[in-house]
Amino acid sequence: MLTETSRVEAFSDGVFAIAITLLILDVHVPGGPAGSLGSALFRQWPTYVSFLISFAFIGIMWVNHHRLFNHIRRSDNSLLFFNLLLLLGVTVVPFPTALLANRYFIPADRTVAAAVFNGTYFVIAIFFNVLWHHAVRSGLVDSATLESADSISKQYAVGPVAYLACMGLTWISVPASILANVVLAIFFAIPPKTHHHKRPQMHSATK
């Protein structure tokens, strides 16, 4: 049975809000003797960077989710579960963020931590594609969106391949893989080109 998407969007917004808020819990007040606060705060810079990157990433994912549901007008059971899979990925983001921040200075663990970080976004990119393609194939999108569906699909198709490349790049250079992740975030922050149709105006006949 088809239903409207307002409850899906409201629930999703709540999950995004909670996930983005939980990121700050990994930023701790450093310990140490008196007079060492400045250096202790500086040593935590990977934590701050990881927090800012993941905050931006979750924010951009929320923006893209909002964009999708501007086109998706109806939902069915499959869409509900595909949306839950996407939200599962979003709620996991605080874990790889903390993992990367805590293990960045340990050479033996840095690569694995970065691979988990990039791998998380690889999985989320797959979930985004599955959600969107189901909506298009099942006719859940606005009829005016059909001409734009191809542009949106092409942009989203870049995600899994690019994030997989980022994950592979971690074994060559961890900083380069994180930088590539930032570039991808900027790419997905830019809305795809869509076609807009003007509604025909009704003119009343006059005598």
Total domain count for the chain? Answer: 1
Note whether residue 122 is domain-resident.
yes
**Phi, psi of 20, rounded to the nearest 5 degrees:** -70, -30
Q: Which amino acid is at 26?
A: D
Note whether residue 200 is domain-resident.
no
The residue segments making up the domain with residue 31 are 6-189
pLDDT digits (tens, 9 = 90+) for 9-46: 999 999 999 999 988 888 888 887 887 888 888 888 88
Percent of the chain with pLDDT over 90: 43
pLDDT digits (tens, 9 = 90+) for 174-189: 989 989 988 988 988 8
pLDDT digits (tens, 9 = 90+) for 144-199: 666 677 778 888 888 899 999 999 999 999 989 989 988 988 988 888 765 444 44
Note whether residue 183 is domain-resident.
yes
Note whether residue 117 is domain-resident.
yes
Q: Return the pLDDT at 206.
A: 42
Note whether residue 48 is domain-resident.
yes
Using pLDDT thresholds of 50, 70 and 90, give the confidence band for residue 98. confident
Note whether residue 206 is domain-resident.
no
Per DSSP, the chain holds a count of helices (H) and strands (E) of 8, 0
CB-based contact 114:96 (threshold 8 Å): no
pLDDT digits (tens, 9 = 90+) for 105-130: 788 899 999 999 999 999 999 999 99
Note whether residue 205 is domain-resident.
no
